[in-house]
Amino acid sequence: MLGRHPERFSVKALTAYGSRDLLLEQAKECGAQYVCLVGEHEGPDTGDVAYGTGPECLIEAATHPEVSVVINAIVGAAGLRATIAALRAGKRVALANKESLVMAGDLVTRAARDGGGEIVPVDSEHSAVLQCLSGRSVDEVRRLILTASGGPFREWSRDRLHDATVEEALRHPTWDMGPKITVDSATLANKALEVIEAHYLFKLGYGRIDVVVHPQSIVHGFVEFTDGSVLAQVGVPSMELPILYALTHPERLDDDGTPRFDPVTAGTLTFEPVRRDDFPAFALGVSAGTAGGTAPAVYNASNEVAVQAFLDGRIPFRAISEIMQGVLESHDVQPATDVEAVLAADAWARQRGELLCSSR
Ligand code: MG
């Protein structure tokens, strides 16, 4: 996609945890001058490409003087420090790593304010809201409605979904994504994370952020304004447009490559309520968001641990939300005063979550 607009975009740095050969190949292809491999200790001789290793190289890439936009698509809590560093350095952060905002929403928004950085969501629902808002003040907004596909278990009975297998959970009906977020879509934890993300991005109280299940994933989000008017953003389920828009916001780029929308092909669009009682991870997340402080970081960490245990075949599907609930109930919520406090809560929740997983 970026390659379609060489006059507009050039890639300066690329980062990954592993897959060194693939990363170097990609760096060569797009002309990146700096590559960062978080999971390695020493770099190979790469000729004219500068090479960094270990978690610190993420910060180097995110604050690189020649970089103006940082796309943070790291999975999970590992993305937090890079988000904050980039914002403090005055960069635009195209944020796919929603966990940054979930764990430390106040700290991340403060970093943006202090450093003159800007957070633009890549998450499709939040991109939709941003596009519908088109610069209007939140004072003119009555509520946001984020859509949820409902995941692969939308129509499953509670009993059946208790013992859903990994293979079943990874069969997402509309979006093609990585395993962690696909399981989060199946439990609806992803939608709770997105409610928290929306709270910090758009500075709206939790009572003004609703979620509706929309199995076709064509409408990505709605904004209801105070006069009763409701705007929606629609498009085929593809991340190309949200990524492109995060780079060009508030402008729009003439681009022929993004998938086209046709209302006739899209056909019937349906909406239904979230089955909160059958997908407890959703309500748990919204409660953690409302509690604030370290609670969202604990929710996020316990989810990461429980989802990994499920993917490893160590716990059944129903245990994901049970473990999250167990961890949250034993957590003493503290103010999220700095990154250290957030990471301490994160580490505590991982340990507690692992303990609960292994005792099952
Ligand atoms: Mg999303």
Half-sphere CA count of 291, side-chain side, radius 13 A: 19
CA of 39 to the centre of ligand 1 (A): 27
- Distance in angstroms (rounded) separating the CA atoms of residues 208 and 297: 22
The residue whose two tokens read 């409302």 is 290
Q: Is 246 helix (H, G, I), strand (E, B) or coil?
A: helix
Domain limits, the chain: 142-231+271-358
What are the tokens at 309? Answer: 């245990």
pTM greater than 0.85 (yes/no): yes
When pLDDT is cut at 50, 70 and 90, the band that residue 173 belongs to is confident
CA of 46 to the centre of ligand 1 (A): 36
CA of 125 to the centre of ligand 1 (A): 5
CA of 279 to the centre of ligand 1 (A): 17
Q: Is 179 helix (H, G, I), strand (E, B) or coil?
A: helix
The residues pairing with 119 across neighbouring beta strands, listed in sequence order, are: 93
Taking residue 243's Cβ as centre, other Cβ atoms within 10 Å add up to 19
CA of 128 to the centre of ligand 1 (A): 10
The per-residue pLDDT for range 317-335, each reduced to its tens digit, is 999 999 999 999 999 999 9
Residue positions counted in the chain: 360
250 prior amide bond cis, ω within 30? yes
The per-residue pLDDT for range 24-81, each reduced to its tens digit, is 999 999 999 999 999 998 877 777 788 999 999 999 999 999 999 999 999 888 899 9
CA of 302 to the centre of ligand 1 (A): 20
CATH topology of domain 142-231+271-358: Rna Polymerase Sigma Factor; Chain: A (1.10.1740)
- Distance in angstroms (rounded) separating the CA atoms of residues 331 and 296: 11
Of all residues in the chain, the percent with pLDDT exceeding 90 is 90
